[in-house]
Structure 1
C-alpha cells in the first residue's frame, strides 16, 4: 500500500512539473509573427521622431507604449505611442537597408 501511494505521488508530481514543460517545448515558433520589443528602445524612438518630422506631422512623441517587430521583406516596426496631447497614435514602417537607409512603407495614424 505504501508503494502504491508513492507511485501515485510520483505521477502527480510528474504531471504537474514535467508535462507543462514538454507542452511548451513542442510549441513551434511563429515565423513572421509580430513579436514584442522593448518599448524603451532609444533607436526606435529616434526613428519614430524622424519619421514624424519628415511627414511634417504636428504630433510629437510623449511616450512609446508598445513596440512590435516583425520579419517581413526586411524588419517591420509597429509602434503605439502617446502624443503630446495624450492621444494614442500608431505608426509602422519597414527597414530594408539593402534598398534604402530611409524607412519604407511608412504608415501613421493619430486621431
Structure 2
C-alpha cells in the first residue's frame, strides 16, 4: 500500500526504519556527528523510497565517514597522550628546579 501511494502521489514517504534522536551532541562529535546523523536519516529515507543500490551507496558513504572519524579520533588520542607525557616531563623538570632553588635559599639562610 505504501509503495502505491509513493508511486501515484508526490507525497514524502517517511523512513522505513525509525530514526533515533541524534546523539552526536552528547558524544562530542560536533559537525561530524551532525553530518553522520543527516546521512543516516537520508539513508533510511532512501531505503524506503529507492532500490537497494542506493542503500549500498549510503552504506559505503557512512562506512567511509565512520572510518575517517575513527582515524581522526585515533590521531587526536595519540596527540593528547603525547601532550600529557610532555606535560608530565615539564612538571617534573619544574619541580626539580623548585627543589634546587629551595636548597639554594636554605644554604643562603644558613650563611647569614
State the TM-score, normalized to the length of structure 1.
0.29
Which is strand-richer, 1 or 2? 1
Query: If you compute each CA radius of gyration, which structure gives the higher value, 1 or 2?
Result: 2
Which is helix-richer, 1 or 2? 2
